[in-house]
Amino acid sequence: MTKMKAWINAARLRTLPLSVSGIIVGSACAFPFFTSNANFLSIFLFAILTTLLLQILSNFANDYGDGVKGTDNETRVGPQRAVQSGLLSAAQMKKGVIVTSLLSLLSALVLIYISFGKDNFLTSLFFFVLGVSCVAAAIKYTVGSGAYGYKGLGDLFVFIFFGLVSVLGSFYLYGQVFSYWVILPALAVGNLSIAVLNINNMRDLDSDKLVGKNTLAVKLGRSGAKQYHYFIIVFALIAFIVYALYSNFSYYQYFFIVAYIPFIKHLIFVKNNTLPKELDSQMKIVALSTFFVSVLFSLALIL
């Protein structure tokens, strides 16, 4: 395998659609109110770019952190990682983390400038600190002695950054106002993002337990992790519908519910699953289904 292909594999392209779901939903919630913003498209594009870079950064950091800790070893069920397999050295991956961090911050700075200009210093400062926090959170998931992914806090951070920050933050960028109702789609995207992580953690539960990686799935146990999984997905699907009711959707705008079908099939699969390895296929299904429902829900909002 060439170095370029190794880097592409390490970026885990299948995770990227999930990462932009919150930006798409937050932008769609803002669309009916702030279409007069001349920078709407520019804000949207740089928000997407920043989020993609942060997701790639998170993937690189996760590969590096688990690789140097020895968490990724022969007992791991999922796809082979770059550092684990030796396709990329730990030093090379560390450089990748640094470069991607800088690119993420640069993209965030451009996004902040387009959104707030030169006159809103405090708001710009707040979003810059938020951007730095996103970079730090992406790195600290598995890197360092205080890696929060090893303490069962990964779900919380995914919920905050891929749900609340992504949806509410992008909504605020367009008009510098906040809406409490937008918390509902933020909760929905956040919970579905957690669901992808939880599937990963249920798949790796046994190997994580062996190396002391105490994810929430490890703490809950296999049965508890399944119950938790049902709850976060069902809650997310209900939250979308409640926001649709608040927005006075016409009956035809509820076409986004067709995206619920793969989630229902997924929950049935998880309920009947007995072999952790088989859960690997479900990560892609949940990630793409989250992207699918986010796009359809956003189209319904725009209509």
In this prediction, residue 11 carries a pLDDT of 84
- Answer positive or negative: Cα dihedral of 298, 179, 181, 225: positive
Q: What is the pLDDT of residues 111-161, one digit of tens each?
A: 999 998 877 778 888 888 988 888 888 777 777 666 787 888 889 989 998
In this prediction, residue 71 carries a pLDDT of 56
How many other C-beta atoms lie within 10 A of the C-beta of residue 231? 12
Question: In the chain, which stretches have pLDDT less than 70?
Answer: 1, 69-81, 144-146
Nearest to 229 by CA among 297, 285, 183: 285
Does any domain span residue 7? Answer: no
Does any domain span residue 4? Answer: no
Does any domain span residue 2? Answer: no
Q: What six digits make up the tokens of 77?
A: 């069920």
In this prediction, residue 209 carries a pLDDT of 87
Q: Which domain holds residue 58?
A: 13-302
Does any domain span residue 169? Answer: yes
Q: Which DSSP string corresponds to 150-218?
A: GGT-HHHHHHIIIIIIHHHHHHHHHHS---GGGHHHHHHHHHHHHHHHHHHHHHTHHHHHHHT---HHH
Exposed e or buried b per residue across 132-155, where buried means at least 16 C-beta atoms within 10 angstroms of its C-beta: eebbebbbbbbbeeebebbebbbb
In this prediction, residue 69 carries a pLDDT of 61
Q: Which DSSP string corresponds to 26-90?
A: HHHHHHHHHTT-TTHHHHHHHHHHHHHHHHHHHHHHHHHHHHHHT-SSTT--SPPPHHHHTSS-H
Total structural domains within the chain: 1
Does any domain span residue 3? Answer: no
Q: Report the distance separating Cα 173 and Cα 47, nearest Å.
A: 9
Q: Report the distance separating Cα 60 and Cα 65, nearest Å.
A: 9
Does any domain span residue 232? Answer: yes
Q: What is the pLDDT of residues 229-253, one digit of tens each?
A: 999 999 999 999 999 999 999 999 9
Q: What six digits make up the tokens of 268?
A: 């049935």
Does any domain span residue 149? Answer: yes
Q: Report the distance separating Cα 24 and Cα 292, nearest Å.
A: 11
In this prediction, residue 267 carries a pLDDT of 97
pTM: 0.90
The angle formed by the CA atoms of residues 184, 230 and 150, to the nearest 5 degrees, is: 90
Q: Provide the angle, in degrees to the nearest 10, between the axes of the packed helices 40-69 and 166-175.
A: 150
Does any domain span residue 8? Answer: no
Q: What six digits make up the tokens of 59?
A: 């993937």
